[in-house]
Structure 1
């Protein structure tokens, strides 16, 4: 019993390390369109940001992105390289804008480099690294490494979605700006919302991989034309 508890604790620590903001992936460099929306005064206070993030979580592309994590997770467990390459290419094609695609690729490549140093002796991982290194999406690589570490699916999604919300709340704290207390209140609110979304994401079929993120697309396309920018997307 104690050994099982220790094993579960170790896997939780691995997930916490993977989701820690100190992991050198560059996530802090991206606002995913929020910088545009703040500049245009469409998001200017706590409630605006809360509504935006809730709509994205419920209907937006983060649901598809999270579903990609699960497909990569399952494909790794069956060691199906063709499936992994298919979903990686599919997700690249589904990215709405150049900036969002570059964000996914840059963070994916950064995570690949870390995996290469974490697990240099694993031959299957090395084969995947060689096949994916030119256009590796972050969600795909996240699914691969969490499957390799045998972290439970539900916990993988909890970590991935919390990481997403945490990054964008930090963007709001910097740009709107929000107070640190309001930022923590938002994170606390989204804990329950994330938990409610997990069963739906896990049950998404391939023909249900769609989203309603037209606001994100327009914000992202406009971002590169801003007079001044703090973020890369």
Structure 2
């Protein structure tokens, strides 16, 4: 499939998103949805203290790499495969187990599992649907992208818009952390988000076509940041 064909397929899926699915998608991946994302920086706090990130340009470069070669791409692949495996208990459990193991540090493990648990519990309480409890019971641990992929699939939200919304929310949360730490003004923060739009789109397209064997990370500095944050003296964030 060519890039233009994939883009056309994506546009068709987005156009076909019904109002109920769109409402849920906007709700689940809004900053107001209480999964606690605001309390995590994914190591950005240490990167700011170390001087790796000190302005809008360096934040944009750091996040672009995290999206294309780090947690952004990996989480997107896990979400897409979870969405497709939502009705297959055995495959779902294997994906959830791999996703839970695929984090570089204790704090990043806390970040993704805490948000995953919160997402599932809120979905059970306010957005319950048939099959959710049974699917959750097949997973020993549910990290955030697996939780979003699972709930989205069981509610009939197409994988393409779900994936784009997830990556947008992830990127926005990283920028929010950076804006408080550097600090950045609101306009510069939005400029960073706008500049990362093509990176988010490209990452989503790659993730839709990727197998679980394609998952990998080359963000060594970001992984070190998440490890060193554990012993950082002054901290605003939990990761």
Q: CA RMSD, aligned part only?
A: 1.6
Given the alignment of the two structures, is residue 114 of structure 1 paired with residue 122 of structure 2, yes or no?
yes
Contact 1:107 1:138 in 2 (8 A): yes
Query: Partners of 1:15 and 1:173 in 2: how far apart?
Result: 25
Deviations 1:132-155 (A, max 9, x none): 3x5211111100111112222210
Query: Partners of 2:89 and 2:75 in 1: how far apart?
Result: 19
Query: Partners of 1:225 and 1:154 in 2: how far apart?
Result: 38
Question: In structure 2, what is the equivalent of residue 12 of structure 1?
Answer: 22
Figure out how many residues of one structure are paired with residues of the other and give that number. 225
Question: In structure 2, what is the equivalent of residue 222 of structure 1?
Answer: 228
Contact 1:38 1:176 in 2 (8 A): yes
Query: Partners of 2:234 and 2:66 in 1: how far apart?
Result: 25
Query: Partners of 2:230 and 2:149 in 1: how far apart?
Result: 30
Query: Partners of 2:165 and 2:26 in 1: how far apart?
Result: 7
SS state of the match for residue 18, structure 2?
Answer: helix
Runs of 5+ consecutive residues of structure 2 not aligned to the other structure: 1-14
Query: Partners of 1:141 and 1:147 in 2: how far apart?
Result: 10
Deviations 1:184-230 (A, max 9, x none): 11111222321222221111122211121211210011001111110
SS state of the match for residue 73, structure 2?
Answer: helix
Given the alignment of the two structures, is residue 100 of structure 1 paired with residue 100 of structure 2, yes or no?
no
Using structure 2 for the length normalisation, give the TM-score. 0.89
Runs of 5+ consecutive residues of structure 1 not aligned to the other structure: none
Return the match for 1:176 from 155, 162, 182: 182
Question: In structure 2, what is the equivalent of residue 125 of structure 1?
Answer: 132
Query: Partners of 2:161 and 2:129 in 1: how far apart?
Result: 26
